[in-house]
Each structure stands twice: as structure tokens, then as C-alpha cells.
Amino acid sequence: MFIIHEDDREYRFGDSGPKYLMKGPRMNFAIVQFQAGQDFKAHYHNIMEENFYILEGEVDIVVDGVVHHLTKGQLIHIEPSEVHYVVNNSNGVVRMISTLAPYTDPDKIDVEDYEF
């Protein structure tokens, strides 16, 4: 058992990207933030499934070439091997929860020259 406060961690890229509150041993749990216009490289996972729950703002999440525009209160579930790309095309900040399970490290495979 443990308790952690979000303020005890930092976003991977300063003001954006994932902020992992838990990484393993069975799942990852992160707060993810993107400023207007920011994105995260297209990738997929061989084993882990990923969920994004939108806390505030709006975001486009492209899964296997299909754009899904998500807003506050929506959840998207992404299966292993589904290529996904996240981009904040809005004028505001987006904050989301990300979960990945079952935990496997490494399991992220970047996709070069991803087009949608």
C-alpha cells in the first residue's frame, strides 16, 4: 500500500507528457497533460492495453488511422497492437488519466512517419 500526491511527480517534458504516479509492478497509472498544439509520437504496445480518461479539455487520439475527438468525461480503450497517436489540436490544455496493464517494460514501439 502507498499514497502519493500528484505534486510529488513531474511531467516527462516539463509542462507536458505523462506524469507517472505508479509504474508497475502490475500496471502504470499516470496523469497526462498536453498544451495546445502538443502531441505524443505514434506508438503501440505488444502486451499492454492503454486507457485514457479525459479530465479536462479536449484531445484527438488517432487509433489505427481513425481520429477520435474526445472531451471531458470520455474514456478510450486501446488494445495491444493498435497504433495510437495523441495530439492536442485545441486552444487549451488537456489533462487525462492514462492506465497501462499488464505492466511490461519495455513495451512501447514507436512508429516512424505515421500518417492519418
Question: Does residue 115 form part of some domain?
Answer: no
What is the reported pLDDT for 113?
Answer: 77
- 3-state SS track over 31-49: EEEECCCCEEEEEEECCCE
Question: Does residue 8 form part of some domain?
Answer: no
pLDDT digits (tens, 9 = 90+) for 46-85: 999 999 999 999 999 999 999 999 999 999 999 999 999 9
CATH of the domain at 28: 2.60.120.10
Extract the C-alpha cell encoding 93: 490544455
Where is pLDDT greater, at 67 or 116?
A: 67
Total tally of structural domains belonging to the chain: 1
Question: Does residue 6 form part of some domain?
Answer: no
pTM equals 0.93
pLDDT digits (tens, 9 = 90+) for 76-110: 999 999 999 999 999 999 999 999 999 998 899 99
Question: Does residue 71 form part of some domain?
Answer: yes
Strand arrangement of the beta sheet that strand 84-87 belongs to: 66-71, 58-63, 84-87, 39-45, 108-110
Question: Does residue 74 form part of some domain?
Answer: yes
- What is the extent of the structural domain holding 35? 22-104
What is the reported pLDDT for 2?
Answer: 93
